[in-house]
Structure 1
Amino acid sequence: MIRFIAQRLLATLPVLLLVLAIVFALSRAIPGDPATTLLGPGATRQQIEALRAQLHLDGPAPIQFLSYVTGVLQGDLGRSLKTGAPVLNEVLLRLPATLELAIAATFVAILVGIPVGVLTAVRANTVLDHVVRVVSLAGVSMPAFLLAVVLQLVFGIWLGWLPISGRASPMFYDEPVTGFAVLDQALAGDIEAVGDALRHLALPTAVLAAFLAATLARFVRNSMLEALQEDYIRTARSKGLPERAVVFVHALRNALLPAVTILGLKFAELLGGAILTETVFAWPGIGRWMFEAIRNRDYPVIQGATLVFAALFMLVSLGVDLLHGVLDPRVRRRL
């Protein structure tokens, strides 16, 4: 097991280097110049050239890339061209907000997607099955930003039930301890503040969970249908086991194995795919920060955030493989 983990971690190094090279090249392909953006349209050519030299943007691209990789190997992701703050510190400051949103969305998707998938598999080709398939298809197909705007309009403006932006109301703001707003307020023992944090979390969580729950429900349904046709299911039924035990003990346990892979990969995608959702809801996570960096041509922030997303994706993928080994003895023996 330890050898397997070490091999996987070593295999991520060339992948991360390739990601760095691609992002470095693509960020330089963004139209516009960071120095011109920072100084504004009234800046002279001499001022722009001086700022480019100050920001180390006047050298050849290969030299800039080599310098950046050297810094990364030393734990330095560079400094923001706009604020001058270390990128690593900014990542650590905003990462908990993105993780909180992704974890909440995954939790809601599991609570909704797995039971719906099991129910539609048990009642396959019924009216309920057809309705759920149409709804899940709509959930997969609807753009996240459109669903976000609709939820803001309905629950935030028309009904006034939920806030449409931010992580907490100004009256409940406090210095972060863990960076997770709900957990921090719970540790402080402020029930009213916990409720406020949950209300702010509700709408962005619903947007991200909608796609994941729809995908999970369809995948669990298909896996359950295959599992229910296996010989061991017929054997369990022939022994006189209750249908509930056949479905939830025997079929679901095996149907969840492939679903774990999908869930893990989708969770990793949520971390990087929450850019639009965080922007629409003014959620102070890495996604919104990266969107602003792209708009400002802030190369170090774009590169640092993308590198963090890539590393998290690979770590989640490794975790999924290890979880498979825990759930499936055959995989555990191979590991």
Structure 2
Amino acid sequence: MARFLLRRLVTSVVVLFGLGVVTFLMTQVLPGDPARAAAGRNATAEQVAAAASRLGLDRPLWDQFAAYFGRLFQGDLGTSVVTRRPVLDDIAQALPSSVELVLAAMLINVAIAVPLGVYAAHRRGRFADVAARVIVLLGAAVPVFWLGLVLQLVFADRLGMLPLTGQLGFGREVPEITGMTSVDALLSGDLPAFGDAVSHLVLPALTLAAAFIAVVARTVRSSMITVLDSDYVTLARATGASERRVVIRHGLRNALVPVSTIIGMQLGWMLGSTVLVESVFGRTGIGAYAVTAVLQNDLYAVIGTVLVIGVVFVLVNIVVDLVQLWLNPRLRQPARGAAPAPAASLAPGAAAEAGPAVKEGAVS
């Protein structure tokens, strides 16, 4: 485990260094003059030169590169041209709202995709299997902004079941504790505000999850088919285990190992996909912050957003690897030259259920 963590940390450091290099190159090749943006649109040439000197833009490229990484190690992502505040402070204020949206979308994603994939695998080749795959593919093919507008039209405007935009109803406030509106309302004990925050979260979370449900559902289906065709599942069925126990305990538990990788990667992708969703539903988050930064030519805010999303993506992947180690004990075993014993091929719990059947087979 220690060797695994060390290897993952080294890999993560290399990835983050590469991300830092890419973002530094962005400062050199993207259109626009950071010094002009920092000095202001109506600044004189002398003021622009002073801003360039203050930002170190008049130094040689290698000096700028070293200074850039020096600031990154200190947690300095620069100062936003729009807010005149440190970019890291702006992102720290906007990120919790996006994390709340991503977690809600992932909850919807898993709650729909996993049962749908299991059901499709259990009914493979039948009408239910084909219908399930067509439905999730249609959800993935629909553009995010169009789906958001349709959901607003149907559930907010026509049916009046859910709020149209925002994060809380007009005139309602909750104390800021974590930055996640629903969590803050719950922690403060304001149940009406909690219900209001959740109702504002449903449509954007469903919109964000729609594009990712198809990937998880198809992965679960493919993995479940492979597991259900394996020898230990056949043995579990032969010993009289119920179909539900076979599918859930022996099938789903082993099929979730590759699925956990997809889900972990989707967390990072979802965080980057909040740009359109937050714009459509009028939510304040890192996606809306990035849109404003691009429209205002706020270079350091854009780069800071890219860096933070990259760091979150790397951290999530480390957590996913740890979850895989927990789900699959065989990954924790050192590689050996000897072939594994026959019992090792059984799923967790299958050998115990086989009991006498395995012993009789060994004797014969």
Q: Same fold (TM over 0.5)?
A: yes
| Structure 2 equivalent of residue 263 of structure 1 | 263
The whole-number CA distance in structure 1 between the counterparts of 2:93 and 2:121 is 43
Q: What's 1:109 paired with?
A: 109
Structure 2 gaps, min length 5: 336-364
CA distance in 2, matches of 1:120, 1:65: 52
Q: Which amino acid aligns with 1:219?
A: T
Change beyond 3 A, Cα 1:321–1:289? same
Could you tell me whether the CA contact under 8 Å between 2:175 and 2:185 is conserved in 1? no
Alignment TM-score, normalising by the size of structure 2 = 0.85
For 2:80 and 2:57, the matched residues in 1 are separated by 13
CA–CA distance in structure 1, aligned partners of residues 36 and 67 of structure 2: 23
The Cα shift of 1:63 comes to 3.3
Q: 1:88 to 1:198 in 2, by over 3 A?
A: same
Deviation at residue 159 of structure 1 after TM alignment:
2.7
State the Cα deviation string for residues 131-165 of structure 1 (Å, max 9, x = none): 11111111222222221222222223333332232
Shift of 1:34: 4.5
Q: Distance in 1 between matches of 2:86 and 2:334?
A: 43
8 Å Cα contact 1:145-1:280 kept in structure 2: yes
Read off the aligned partner of 1:305 and give its amino acid letter.
Answer: T
Distance in 1 between the 2:119 and 2:210 partners?
18
Residues 303-312 or 197-206, more deviating: 303-312
Task: Give the structure 2 partner of residue 23 of structure 1.
Answer: 23
Q: How does 1:51-200 map to 2 (within 5 A)?
A: 51-53=51-53, 55-200=55-200
**Could you tell me which residue of structure 2 aligns to residue 229 of structure 1?**
229
In structure 2, the residue matched to 1:280 is 280
Higher mean alpha-carbon deviation, 167-176 vs 218-227, is at 167-176
Distance 2:235 2:7 in 1: 41
Residues 161 and 47 (structure 1 numbering): CA distance in 2 closer, same or farther, change over 3 Å? Answer: farther
Would the alpha carbon gap of residues 320 and 84 (structure 1) be closer, same or farther in structure 2, given more than 3 Å must change? same
Residue 214 of structure 1: how far off its partner (Å): 1.9
Q: Write out per-residue CA displacement over residues 18-50 of structure 1, whole angstroms, 9 at most, x where no aligned residue.
A: 112212223443333356567777665555555
**Matched residue, 2:204:** 204
Q: Is the 8 A contact 2:174 2:188 kept in 1?
A: no
Report the more deviating stretch, 265-274 or 193-202: 265-274
Shift of 1:14: 2.5
By how many angstroms is 1:268 displaced?
1.9
Find the aligned partners of 1:41 and 1:279 in 2 and give their Cα distance.
Answer: 26
* Structure 1 counterpart SS, 2:164: coil
SS in 2 for 1:284: coil
**Separation in 2 of the partners of 1:34 and 1:190?**
45
- The residue identity in structure 2 corresponding to 1:186 is L
**TM-score normalised by length of structure 1:** 0.92
Structure 2 contact 175–188 (Cα < 8 Å) conserved:
no
Give yes or no for contact 2:176–2:184 (8 Å, CA) kept in 1.
Answer: yes
| Counterpart-to-counterpart distance in 2, 1:334 and 1:200 | 49
Q: Is the 8 A contact 1:68 1:78 kept in 2?
A: no
Quote the residue 1:291 is aligned against: 291
Task: Supply the distance in 2 between the matched residues of 1:322 and 1:303 (Cα, whole angstroms).
Answer: 29
For the structure 1 residues 4 and 206, does the alpha-carbon distance in structure 2 shift closer, same or farther, using more than 3 Å as the test? Answer: same
Question: CA 1:205 to 1:111, structure 2 compared with 1: closer, same or farther past 3 Å?
Answer: same
Asked if the contact 2:24–2:65 (Cα under 8 Å) also holds between the matched residues in 1, the reply is: yes
- Could you say what secondary structure the match of 2:75 adopts? coil
Contact 2:37 2:298 in 1 (8 A): no
RMSD: 2.2
Higher mean C-alpha deviation, range 70-79 or range 109-118: 70-79
After superposition, the C-alpha distances for 1:154-179 in whole angstroms (9 at most, x for unaligned) are 22333333223222224222331011
Q: Partners of 2:130 and 2:218 in 1: how far apart?
A: 11
Measured after TM superposition, the shift of residue 240 of structure 1 is 1.6
Give the number of the structure whose alpha-carbon radius of gyration is greater.
2
C-alpha distance in 1, partners of 2:38/2:139?
Answer: 40
* Range with greater deviation from structure 2 (75-84 or 303-312): 75-84
Q: Which runs of 5+ in 1 are unaligned?
A: none
Structure 2 CA distance for aligned equivalents of residues 297 and 330 of structure 1: 50
- Alpha-carbon spacing, 1:203–1:142, altered in 2? closer, same or farther (3 Å): same
Say which SS state the counterpart of residue 155 (structure 1) adopts.
helix
> Which protein, 1 or 2, shows the higher relative CO under an 8 Å CA cutoff with sep ≥ 6?
1
Query: CA 1:291–1:24 in 2, change beyond 3 Å: closer, same or farther?
Result: farther
Q: Which letter maps to 2:235?
A: T
Q: Give the number of aligned pairs.
A: 335
Deviation at 1:280, TM superposition (A): 2.0
Deviation at 1:333, TM superposition (A): 2.2
